[in-house]
Chain A
Amino acid sequence: MQKPFAITLDIGTSLANHTGSWRTERPEYVDRLPPCNHACPAGENIQAWLYLAEEGDYEGAWRKLMEDNPMPGVMGRVCYHPCESACNRGQLDEAVGIHAIERFLGRTAWEQGWKPDPPAGPSGKTVLVVGAGPSGLSAAYHLTRMGHAVTIREAGPMAGGMMRFGIPKYRLPRDVLDYEIQRILDMGVTLELDTKVENIEAAFETENFDAVFVAVGAHLAKRIDIPAHAAGRILDAVSVLKDLETGVEPPQLGRRVIIYGGGNTAMDMARTAKRLGAEEAMIVYRRSRNEMPAHDFEATEAEDEGVLIHWLRTIKEIDESTFTVEKMEVDENGRPQPTGEFETLEADTLVLALGQNVDTTFMETIPGVKIAKDGVIDVDETLMTGYPGLFAGGDMVPAERTVTVAVGHGKKVARSIDAYMKGERYAPPEKHGLATFEAINDWYYTDADKTVQPALDLIRRQTTFDEILGGLDETTALFEARRCLSCGNCFECDNCYGVCPDNAVIKLGAGKRFKFNYDFCKGCGLCAAECPCGAIEMTPETI
């Protein structure tokens, strides 16, 4: 064809002009680790199940959740939700109420009778789990899913461990606990109650278990020496809370009760004492509110219910019902120091809530097993003790003592045991980089305040063990799920597709996300700047 002067190209579309060659930086889609997932001790993929819940796919969300945690109903109630403390939305208005949605999914699964995905085919391997607490139950669930045959041996008369014997009913109704435990057992787990395991080596040698996971918790109440001329009743909180579950008669605490300690157990004990009819339930704690191990909301809830907290006091002497307490001061290291000033309190019963120790006597003689500092079992990063095939987790090992940590140990140990039985060593996959608040373009998120869960009237809180917090209904749960920012993970808002001046983003259709057309992308970075959730990263081009 005859071309006009100085024209070298044919007439046609500009698609022949590949502007991608201008680029010095290229956008790339990334998945970053959302802070909620990062903070979850049970390793839940919270963002992923919220994504499904946002669509109203509650079963899908529940199944995603169940990949990591077999007890959403329990966890939605008792977990201290570090996910919400880490939630980026907290810097915008208020954190997403993850626990409330988890609880909603737990209840919906119950109402709908959803069953866990069927286990993998039988592996022929057998595992003994010692202790039917959150850690043992979680391990049994995950191992069963992997196709291993699991037997749980529990020394007590009921499964649940501290979920039953440590957490009062007003925070965790027992029907929820029973249902979620039974669902795990229904998968084919053998539970032997009232069976105390004394000889672990025999489980390997005589019974031929391929691996053993010990998770008996920490049940020995710490004691303290207090000079007493004529002591009144002194009890420990762990025993009282346990008796409440197993005993026929509720424990008699008297009219005035002092609880000694500042942890969550002390708060639960004081609130339980109120509900058992104590006129005065007082907490005596040696440090101030700032240093207490209990969560602040628990102290607030206890105070709301009429519990009186004497901060900065230690008990020096007991004479029948008269308690001499010394005022303390907190020094710059956060340690309490005596002041030499004294006062007296009147009470009928003293309940100690000073923490718990692990009973390690049945483990100490096993070759290779080491006791770590603070009297807990020493384990490696796969939770295996020095004895090959023997694993330990939950409150028995060095870690924060919460139900969620225990459930996380159960999952982790299941993976470790699975690898061990294959002659391998479990290595966790590499994690994505963290999705920080700075990576979020908060302009695009509309204002939406956190949904408030209904709470029981104060008078009923003081007198009954009814659950305090109500659940969310479907509409409010959906609203709450949709408050998720989806940090670091594409949620298909079409922004990148829309804002590209060069039409260089290809929309792949619902659920398939997008891809870049690098033939035309000039690398302006608008897509990355306008991505609400920080799922696009600009990286320098290499030539």
Chain B
Amino acid sequence: MTQRIKFYQTGTLTVGNRLLDEDNRTVQGTVDRSNSLTSGHRACQGCGEALGARYVVDAAMRAAGDRLFAVNATGCLEVFSTPYPESSWQVPWLHSLFGNAPAVATGVRAALRAKGRTDIKVLAQGGDGGTADIGFGCLSGMFERNDDVLYVCYDNEAYMNTGVQRSGSTPPAARTSTTPAAGAAPGNVFGQGKNVPRIAMAHGIPYVATASVADLQDLEAKVTKAMNIDGARYIHVHVPCPLGWGSAPCDTIKLARLAIETGLFPLYEAEYGDVTDVTPIRRRMPVEDYLRPQKRFAHLFRPDLDAEVLAQIQKIADDNIEKLKLLD
């Protein structure tokens, strides 16, 4: 969690600020950020993942002194950034299969060590499908071996570029193309899915954190911290998807913020399996405010308000808030 500076009109909530010390500005606020994922990529308008990836990789580049190697699982991020023969990456970058990015990163790490290049840091990244489902075994292996890799999952809560199919990270009640809003219990079922940050923690690895595109300072602080730790590290970044969520492109950050403020996406850090810090909720909001602008939850509001399901989702948020003490 970052230190909030109670200062000026906007404190440290904005990306930068002309009155802040250079040390307290974000990487994204600087003119010389590396723009690891540069313009011309083919992500949809208002793509949270494109934003999250630039936030993370730029911060990692800064922390690694620009000596960084990135491995990328198949997924939206890979598809929109590198349609052959163009690439948007301004960082050494390797495309793996959908399911083996953690293993490829392990290999890259080992190869660099063999060449004596321990100064180069290794980053692996994938979407929630590649992480929670398809690459799950490889990821667990990477954690178990405590390989010196930072793995970042950009979680947009479904397989988006293949047509919005449900993933292990899709929230309950959400409509996807494989969990249609039809029948007695429309949308994704309750009680399924995987909480990957919790699973990562269960491996007892040195560092696990959740982050969001709605809290840049927090995200950059966590990436920077992770880059300075040896061994296996995992950061799970919440990245709204206008296409899959059925939301307005301009609402991407607002929705990510509401996910935090409702308690549905809690921000925390864990070291060796234990939660060490949480980012408190600043203005608590009811889950309805988060769900209503998203068409994937439209069936909860039309034709009638589904108070029962809303209460179930609210309970998830309330439990997060209570368990992690997000209001203290």
Contacts and interface: CB of A to CB of B under 8 A. Distances in A.
A497 B250 CA distance: 15
B16 A497 contact: yes
Contacts of B29: 494, 497-498
Interface stretch (B7-15, B102-110, B181-189): B7-15
A524 B84 contact: no
A363 to B, nearest CB: 49
Interface in B224-282: 242, 248-254, 257
A297 B88 CA distance: 61
A132 to B, nearest CB: 40
B88 A497 contact: no
A12 B257 CA distance: 36
Contacts of B48: 501
Given A54-B8, A499-B253, A526-B250, A517 B39 contact: yes
A1 to B, nearest CB: 10
Interface in A484-512: 484-486, 491-495, 497-504, 507, 509-511
Contacts of A538: 250
B253 A530 contact: yes
Interface residues of B, number: 51
Interface string A517-536: 10110111110111010000
Interface in A2-55: 7, 9-19, 22, 54-55
Assign chain A's interface to a size class: 35 or more
B45 interface: yes
B261 to A, nearest CB: 9
A444 B251 CA distance: 15
Contact of A12 (B11, B45, B46, B85): B85
A19 B252 CA distance: 19
Contacts of B84: 7, 11
B302 interface: no
Contacts of B86: 9, 11-14, 16-17
B116 interface: no
Contact of B15 (A7, A485, A494, A511): A494
B9 A499 contact: no
B45 A522 contact: yes
Contact of B88 (A13, A522, A528, A532): A13
B143 to A, nearest CB: 30
Contacts of A493: 9-10, 14-18
Contact of A18 (B26, B37, B40, B252): B40
Contacts of B212: none
B19 A494 contact: no
Interface in B138-168: none
Contacts of B25: 494
B253 A11 contact: no
Given A9-B86, A529-B253, A494 B28 contact: yes
Given A13-B86, A499-B253, A532 B10 contact: yes
A529 B242 CA distance: 14
Query: B interface, by DSSP: helix, strand, loop or mixed?
Result: loop
Nearest to B5: A446
A15 B10 CA distance: 33
B28 A498 contact: yes
Most chain A CB within 10 A, of B6, B41, B48, B88, is at B41
A514 to B, nearest CB: 11
B317 interface: no
B39 A491 contact: no
A154 to B, nearest CB: 44
Contact of A520 (B28, B37, B39, B252): B39
Contacts of A55: 18-19
Given A12-B85, A13-B88, A503-B35, A19 B40 contact: yes
Nearest to B249: A524
B223 interface: no
Contacts of A11: 84-86
A502 B39 contact: yes
Contacts of B209: none
B40 A444 contact: no
Contact of A499 (B8, B19, B45, B51): B51
14 contacts: A9-B85, A9-B86, A13-B40, A13-B88, A15-B40, A17-B40, A17-B41, A54-B19, A445-B13, A482-B9, A483-B9, A494-B28, A520-B39, A524-B250
Closest CB pairs A-B (n = 5): A494-B16, A498-B15, A14-B40, A525-B250, A524-B46
Given A502-B43, A532-B14, 9 more contacts: A14-B88, A54-B19, A445-B13, A485-B9, A493-B15, A493-B18, A494-B26, A499-B253, A520-B40
